[in-house]
Amino acid sequence: MERFGPCLLLLLACMSTHGSRPTRDQSVRLAGGKLSSEGRVEVFHAGQWGTVCDDGWGLAEAMVVCRHLGYQGAREAVNGGVYGQGSGPIWLDDLDCNGTESSLSSCRFKGWGVTDCSHNEDAGVICERDKSFNNTRRFPLDHSAGLSESLGQLFDSRRGCDLTIAVRSPGGVPGEDRVCAHSLVLSLYPESPFYSAALRSRNLSMEVSQDCRPYVTKFLRYLYTRQIDLSVASARCLHRLASDFGIERLKEGSGRLFAWMLPLDPSFHTQVSLYGYAVRTRDPTLQETCLRYLAWNCHGLMASPAWANLTRDALQALLSRSDLVVPDEAFVLRGLERWAQAQRERAGGDDIAALLEAIRFPMLSPEELYDLRFTSALYAAHGALLRDGALDGFQFNLLPFAKLKRHMEARRDQYRPRIYTAQPWSLYVNSTQTTWQNYRHQHYYQPGVRKNFQTPVLNSAVFRTESISWDTDIFLTKHDCQNRGLRCDLLPAAWLRSNSNLDRYRSSIHHGNKIVLSCEGDYVFHVQDFKDNLVQIAANVSASLAYPCYTDHFFYRFVVSPEYVL
């Protein structure tokens, strides 16, 4: 076959599930962790076990270790002797891996035993177990928009090809696969490297990691039909292929499927790792998918092992959000203090100062503001910032809105509540208190849960003695909804309405109330605003590509979120 122009070499850095069988002099083990999939990295060399320095230690190096040990990949590269200090020599220092090597000794490094490190810099890893990849369900993705299935038949037929794509795996399966393709079809993707390759060359060469190799044909067929069946197992490779080749719609679609992985890991290592992956691949959709889950489940995240190892940038992105589901703002500040203490030398004073700017001091009570100088672990180093924040908080709590609003616009988010669940701002309804399950499985229905609770008009000392009463209801049938004079096109539905006269506050105070759904109380999978006092929840919310709930038992939390109208 005639060739036109140079051959295009495309490197796809997908993660691999299989590593080389280790030889004795390159054996790797993990020590000091609570699980077999985490710990301090130790390498056997010259008849002795030794450790690895964390200088230059990152996710690519951790990937090599985890793949070498037979895991799906690496969730996190852990620095600074987190898993205790090892003994013996420090065999490797200043490692520089690309993530596809079969062993650490195949990466660039100073030389065996050449180091300026001590054992308090021993590197560690958290490897990715395959629990999240056991879901075999298929999710069809259709971007065909009128493209004929005939193009898919053309790809399958292997007829009329004027382009050959050779697929190789360095260090993996020997030889190569050859895929028949058509330059005219590939030229339909001007945003992709395939476009210039199709115009300039008759032959292409692709290097893919071993675990992604089975998905290359599916990926190339998508370029013809713009249709593909995704699975949790295939999502990572297809996302990486789409990311590297600029196929944006496939990248977005496969990224959404990552949401199915997020609830499966109560340790939060998967969620944090996927967010880091999304940042590296510059995928804003996937970044939002991960960040929103972390925000909605911030209470669990702050109590998890992953919290202390969250990067400064990830924490900044999280603290800037208003959709954190947390007991109150004091809880957020305490979480920041714990994170700062765990960082030791890794986070500088400027980093902590920038993160403190994201704390919404006006949302703290006067009592909490007064206690800051006595209770905050950050006061000694950042007393000026905390005093300024406390001053803002005292002013919000004590001054009338007419005086405040001239200066509030410049720092609008500081005066906006997050989704606070502590008393008196929320009401939690256990699904076992409703008859929804009886209705679904035994075909009868009794009236659902009707409750009421009270909140202040605003979380300010000015309004501490002025309260609002709220009525709540959960509707499971259209008939019950109609009894309230409402129309429910989707069920279940939740209703939250003030039975107090709010007219005199409406010009200055807005109540952006929320319904928060948690799956058996374990994790939040859905948050929605009330519209005209009603929230209608799609019947397939737990089966969609949003965060799934694998059971019909989900609980409701009504949250009142008052804020000044600016």
> Rounded to whole angstroms, how far apart are CA atoms 168 and 177?
7
Taking CA atoms, 224 is separated from 205, 215, 234, in Å, by 19, 15, 19
- Give pLDDT tens digits for 93-123: 999 988 878 789 889 999 999 999 999 999 9
Inform me whether the pLDDT recorded for 556 exceeds 50: yes
Domain 135-260: give its CATH superfamily.
Potassium Channel Kv1.1; Chain A (3.30.710.10)
Please, what is the Cα angle at 192 between 191 and 197, to 5 degrees?
A: 125
Please, what is the Cα angle at 41 between 38 and 46, to 5 degrees?
A: 150
Q: Which residues contact 162 (CB under 8 A, 6 or more apart)?
A: 1, 182, 183, 202
Q: Give the pLDDT mean for 444-462.
A: 79
Percent of the chain with pLDDT over 90: 38
Tokens matching residue 366:
């006067």
Residue 369 or 38, more confident: 369
Fold of 284-415: 1.25.40
- Give pLDDT tens digits for 171-219: 666 677 888 888 888 887 777 777 776 666 566 777 777 778 889 999 9
Q: Name the least confident of 134-138, 212-216, 276-280.
A: 134-138
Residue 7 backbone zone (phi > 0: left; psi -120 to 50: alpha; other: beta)? beta
Which range, 318-332, 403-417, 444-458, has the best average confidence (pLDDT)? 318-332
- Give pLDDT tens digits for 34-77: 766 789 999 999 888 999 999 889 888 998 898 777 676 788 89
Inform me whether the pLDDT recorded for 540 exceeds 60: no
| Mean pLDDT taken over the chain | 82
Percent of the chain with pLDDT over 70: 84
Per-residue confidence (pLDDT) for residue 384, from 0 to 100: 96
Per-residue confidence (pLDDT) for residue 244, from 0 to 100: 82
**391 in Cβ contact with 486 (< 8 Å):** no
Residue 154 CB coordination number (10 Å): 18
Domain positions in the chain: 24-133, 135-260, 284-415, 423-564
Per-residue confidence (pLDDT) for residue 319, from 0 to 100: 97
- Give pLDDT tens digits for 241-264: 898 888 888 988 888 888 887 887
> Rounded to whole angstroms, how far apart are CA atoms 566 and 564?
6
Residue with tokens 């256990």: 430
Q: Does the domain made of 24-133 have the CATH classification 6.10.140.120?
A: no
Residue 512's φ and ψ, nearest 5 degrees, are -90, 70
Residue 174's φ and ψ, nearest 5 degrees, are -70, 160
Give residue 137's pLDDT band: very low, low, confident or very high (50, 70, 90). low
Which range, 81-90, 226-235, 371-380, 446-455, has the best average confidence (pLDDT)? 371-380
Per-residue confidence (pLDDT) for residue 134, from 0 to 100: 47
**49 in Cβ contact with 122 (< 8 Å):** no
* Nearest partner of 141 among 14, 262, 235, judged by Cα: 235
- Exposed, middle or buried: residue 255 (CB in 10 Å: 0-12, 13-18, 19+)? buried
Per-residue confidence (pLDDT) for residue 438, from 0 to 100: 39
> Rounded to whole angstroms, how far apart are CA atoms 295 and 23?
44
Fold of 423-564: 2.60.210
> Rounded to whole angstroms, how far apart are CA atoms 106 and 90?
17
Inform me whether the pLDDT recorded for 432 exceeds 70: no
Per-residue confidence (pLDDT) for residue 442, from 0 to 100: 37
Residue 14 or 191, more confident: 191
